[in-house]
Structure 1
Amino acid sequence: MDPKSCYRFTFLLLISLFLQSTVVSGKSSVFFIDNPSHRYFHSPSSKISSLSLSEVGATVSVLLGFAPPATLSAASSSKLNEVLIPNPFDRPGSVLILEVTGAEGVSIEALRSDVMNKNRADIQLPDANEVSLFSLDEPKTDAEYSDKELSDFASWFSGSYVNGELTIPLENAADLKFQLSKEADREFVTSLVSLTHKIQRAMEMHHDLSGAVRRPSELISGKFDGLKALKEHYGAEGVAKGTKLFSIVMSKMFDSLTEAYKGQIVGVIVCNERPSVAESLFNVIFTSQPSARWLEETKESSNSTAIEEIVLVRRTVAWITGILLIIATLLGLTVHEINFKYSNLRIHDTYRWPRLIALEQK
């Protein structure tokens, strides 16, 4: 089995077990998706301590190639070492972090960790010019997807969409079927279609950034709510069915991401037990940029006098420099004119003196 097929099978298996076990164990978990040909995480068989969301956020910062927050404790730094390969000069520089709502914890033999608290956490990054952010949380509506778009989505997985029924074949000769005339099915499927379209746009943006002299780090972040709708309408059976399709979609998308990013991207999936809310679990902040409020207060502070003095000095220097350049230009023109006249005089004398000498000899 080639590495890509092995990666796809492993990803599909782990994600399926991961999401199915979330309903059983009742715990929130974080799941790390690695590149099979160039590992950035420890082996899936490694044992990892429970992580807080702040420690997950610090892990994302390190994966993007930046130092962890200065407030990170020694104990938290030790936990990060349990997750990451100890090579600070070899980080992917690109991360997809996805929050899955309407599900709970995980209990499998894989590189994963329980999440100790559910409080919102920060992902601290340096200057905004060094990081490209792409959000997957733009609002969506069912009406934005036509029958053709849904049919194209099904064809991507060798399936079909006919008369409102989406059919996706499985490897065991069974089929996954969703009736989009039903509200829960339609919400789940359109959520998946929206997710794939947005990830594809993120890859297009990466293609544009790849030509830059200094390519920024890339963070793709978002939230998937579709499983919640299936859980509310069908219970555990609906979640298990949706999990299979979600696993197929994410496996396919990560194949595309790995190819587009040439292996320099990893995934972090956080399974959140609480229902979907407006706010994400993670808040991206830039540590080296002052806020707009701080800038406004600076304008109105006593430092405005010092700024005006600096502007006055710069203008004065500019005027003096301009005047000196004008004087230098005029002097240059005058010297050039004198030299020109002197040269003409010498040429005239050169032809006059031989003629005078010849006349005297006669």
Structure 2
Amino acid sequence: MDLRVRAFHMLILVSGLCLLQARGGSSNSVLFLDGSEHKYIRSHPETVDEANPMSPLEVAATVSVLLGVAPPVSLPAESSLKLDKILTPNPFSRPRAVVMLEVQGIGDLSSALHSILQDDSALSGKIISSGNAHIELFGDDEVSQTSIDEPIECDSACAGREFSNLARWLGGSYVGSMESQDGELEFPLASGTSLNLHVSKEADRTFALSLVSLFNGVKTAMEMQEDFEAINQRPVDLFTGCFTGIKLFHMALARLFGSLQKTYQGEVVGVILLNEQTSASSMEPMLDVKLSPRASRWLQERPAANTTNAEVHLVRTTLAWITGIILLLSTLIGVYYLLYMPFNRDTLLYSNVKLD
């Protein structure tokens, strides 16, 4: 079987909501990450720049099209042109899954782009509005939604094992234990320094558990890809979650993106949303998924259009009258000659009269 048909395509959607107030006002942005092998985003679209920013509705419509779902009918024509300049023109080449992750407490990812993308392409742009948008989906027959931020409910020993796995995955170490209140996570950073998290502190423990939940959720997504690899037709999978930690996010996202690149043979697309606001509305996700029951659509019967104009009707009427008059005259002439024909040998033979 062709690898492109069997491969379970993945789209990572990371929506970041910054809770820190920007000095020069709010500055929302969007970042599209494309895979190294399979391309879903155009190389250099003109829409993702400061002169032509996007709205949350346009970003949501872009995700809908990547999922193979029609964008909302309220999308203006100008927004449709922006989508056409962002996405590749092949409508049959779309990712088969979306991982939508909301990251709270992040401001700028530009310092970590090189470590995240490596050889991949990235396209960034501004978002002009701070409002929210809905990704409207219809039923489970098209999209299967799964959460990747399920809270971890385990005892101290289980949490210790999770922390050890997390440290091993990020190339760090975990020493001590939660029972003795001396558990410590140490992670090497790209700058050469290390970051230490004391799990006895509530803030560090919450951050570490959020990272563990994200790690386990992405592992579940990759395991689902392996389980359904042989299935050709199945609903698009939508994985949603929320990440509240930030300090190790750069390195964790780089490793997660690299793992997905390897698992899905480079057929990965990422979209990162950055929202720098401190209002209460910033606690709501910028892109919200709305599942609606599919309404039956019937084709309305329309009356046939009357394209016959007056000239055509006049010509047809005239031809009909002329034909009728000719037939009437022919009938009358035939009856006349039949009634008044002379009785001779030829006419009698013509009339099938037997002669002696």
- Compute the TM-score of the two structures, normalised by the length of structure 2: 0.63
Alpha-carbon distance between aligned partners in 2 of 1:120 and 1:83, rounded to the nearest angstrom: 21
Alpha-carbon distance between aligned partners in 1 of 2:23 and 2:242, rounded to the nearest angstrom: 21
Change (3 A) 1:221 1:267: farther
What amino acid is the match of 2:140?
A
Q: Counterpart in 2 of 1:11?
A: none
Superposition RMSD in Å = 3.3
Match for residue 101 of structure 1 among 87, 99, 104: 104
Q: What's the offset of the Cα at 1:171?
A: 4.2
Q: Counterpart in 2 of 1:68?
A: 71
Q: Counterpart in 1 of 2:253?
A: 250
Q: Which structure shows the higher helix fraction? A: 1
> Which moved further from structure 2: 101-110 or 61-70?
101-110
Q: Counterpart in 1 of 2:309?
A: none
Q: Counterpart in 2 of 1:116?
A: 128
Q: What's the offset of the Cα at 1:267?
A: 2.0
Change (3 A) 1:205 1:106: closer
8 Å contact kept, 2:150–2:213: no
Alpha-carbon distance between aligned partners in 2 of 1:69 and 1:210, rounded to the nearest angstrom: 31
Q: Counterpart in 1 of 2:348?
A: none
Q: Counterpart in 2 of 1:38?
A: 38
Higher relative contact order (CA 8 A, sep 6+): 2
Q: Which runs of 5+ in 2 are unaligned?
A: 1-13, 114-121, 177-182, 297-356
Q: What's the offset of the Cα at 1:264?
A: 3.4
Q: Counterpart in 2 of 1:146?
A: 159
8 Å contact kept, 1:22–1:103: no
1:165-194 Cα deviation digits (max 9, x unpaired): 211123453222222222222211211111
8 Å contact kept, 2:136–2:289: yes
Q: Counterpart in 2 of 1:323?
A: none
Alpha-carbon distance between aligned partners in 2 of 1:184 and 1:279, rounded to the nearest angstrom: 22
Change (3 A) 1:223 1:130: same
- Between the two proteins, the alignment pairs up a number of residues equal to 258
Q: Does 1:281 align with 2:293?
A: no
1:250-305 Cα deviation digits (max 9, x unpaired): 121122223333333322222233469775333323455259xxxxxxxxxxxxxx
Q: Does 1:161 align with 2:161?
A: no
Match for residue 226 of structure 1 among 241, 245, 257: 245
1:17-59 Cα deviation digits (max 9, x unpaired): x99x996774222222210122212337964332222111111
Alpha-carbon distance between aligned partners in 2 of 1:98 and 1:133, rounded to the nearest angstrom: 13
Alpha-carbon distance between aligned partners in 2 of 1:169 and 1:182, rounded to the nearest angstrom: 20
Identity among equivalent pairs (%)? 41
Alpha-carbon distance between aligned partners in 2 of 1:190 and 1:207, rounded to the nearest angstrom: 26
Q: What's the offset of the Cα at 1:129?
A: 0.9
Listed as ranges, the matches of 1:81-96 within 5 Å are 81-96=84-99
Look at both structures and tell me which one has the larger radius of gyration over its CA atoms: 2
Q: Counterpart in 2 of 1:55?
A: 58
Listed as ranges, the matches of 1:175-186 within 5 Å are 175-186=194-205
Q: What's the offset of the Cα at 1:138?
A: 2.8
8 Å contact kept, 2:38–2:268: no
Change (3 A) 1:186 1:62: same
